[in-house]
Amino acid sequence: MNVLIIGGTGTISTYVVNKCLEERMAVTVMNRGTHNDQLPKGVKTIICDINNEPEALSLLKDKHFDSVIEFVAFTKEQVERDVRLFKGKTNQYIFISTASAYQKPVEDYPITENTPLINPYWDYSQRKIECEAYLSKVKDMNITVVRPSHTYDNKMIMAVMIRWGNAYAHIKRLKEHKPIIIPGDGTSVWTITHASDFANSFVYLIGNAKTYGEAYHITGNRLYTWEQLSNILAKELHVTPHYVHIPTDIIVKHMPEMKGPLMGDKAWSAIFDNTKIKKISKSYTSIVGYEDVAVDVIKYFETHQEAQNIDDEYEKQYDGLINDYLIKHPEEK
């Protein structure tokens, strides 16, 4: 099996690359080369910004792949470009979408692949929905869609209220005994999936004609509340967390940037039916839990200063929201 992976060094794609090699596939990675020193031995590379279509077209000349796996397309324009680049050059195009595309608010559990794709709250999800809608109309190209849901590795802080790129603030707040915001009453549950478990099932989609024209989510079976996830980190840090429960609509009013990540995703319980992927995968697993990797997560952030980013503006908004809410609701102190 000759596979081209667009990306290849991200949270999910790193594990997919390794699993493909384990399954004796020939793997080529196309990316800008920024982190390719992390790639395992035996992976071929095409150094290119795929958004530079003429350059990509030149480098792909005379190449053909059994499967092309797209991890870094987020807009309709990007998947349109991919169709131009790869039609006739691959037997299968696998698009990595998102489970956050499923209907919000959730109206029926468990979530299946037939759950409508409707998310009026988050532009990220809306763009992925547009990508899927476009790809569903593409002719003469075998397409498989995959929808991950909050897939993590041993370097990811799992917290409900963080700004992208500044997740370390959550650990810092725990260590400094600062309050942690939990939207709602803290009882909603969330499915998280370790990237190794994801990869175990994902590889069975590659080159599989039964998956052409189909969509799959691949998630674990482990459910946590957001408090439980923070409790796991707090236990490893040997601290007692202090939570403040604030209704989601109040959070969004004070911090509008959280509308998408909360109302468009994390404010709702996420419970998935994995029957469809289990019928394809010979090795579906849901083995790794967050408690298994929390010590590695903390160690990574504590030993990599470049990962210890704190956004002072965001933290000021965060603390301001807590202070305003506690003035009006002193019973939460």
pLDDT of res. 132: 98
Name the domain count of the chain: 2
Tell me, yes or no, whether 228 and 239 share the same domain: yes
CA 314 to mean position of chain CA atoms: 22
Tell me, yes or no, whether 65 and 197 share the same domain: yes
User: Is residue 241 in a domain?
Assistant: yes
Tell me, yes or no, whether 183 and 315 share the same domain: yes
- % of the chain beyond a pLDDT of 90: 95
Give per-residue pLDDT as tens, 20-41.
Answer: 999 999 999 999 988 888 899 9
Tell me, yes or no, whether 319 and 254 share the same domain: yes
CA 122 to mean position of chain CA atoms: 14
Cβ neighbours around 216 below 10 Å, total: 23
Domain holding 108: CATH number? 3.40.50.720
Residues 6+ apart with CB under 8 A from 172: 308, 310
Contact assessment for residue 21 and residue 43, using Cβ atoms and an 8 Å cutoff: yes
How far apart are alpha carbons 84 and 126 in whole angstroms? 22
Tell me, yes or no, whether 209 and 250 share the same domain: no
User: Is residue 159 in a domain?
Assistant: no
Counting every residue, how long is the chain?
A: 333
Tell me, yes or no, whether 70 and 178 share the same domain: no
Tell me, yes or no, whether 10 and 102 share the same domain: yes
Tell me, yes or no, whether 183 and 99 share the same domain: no
How far apart are alpha carbons 108 and 230 in whole angstroms? 27
Give per-residue pLDDT as tens, 10-22.
Answer: 999 999 999 999 9
Tell me, yes or no, whether 29 and 113 share the same domain: yes
Tell me, yes or no, whether 48 and 174 share the same domain: no
Domain that holds residue 259: 168-191+223-270+289-332
pLDDT of res. 266: 95
Tell me, yes or no, whether 187 and 204 share the same domain: no
- % of the chain beyond a pLDDT of 70: 99
Domain holding 324: CATH number? 3.90.25
Cβ neighbours around 101 below 10 Å, total: 28
Cβ neighbours around 16 below 10 Å, total: 26
Give per-residue pLDDT as tens, 46-75.
Answer: 999 999 999 999 999 999 999 999 999 999
pTM given for the model: 0.95
- Report the alpha-carbon angle 67-70-74, nearest 5: 155
User: Is residue 127 in a domain?
Assistant: yes
Question: Residue 332 pLDDT more than 70?
Answer: no
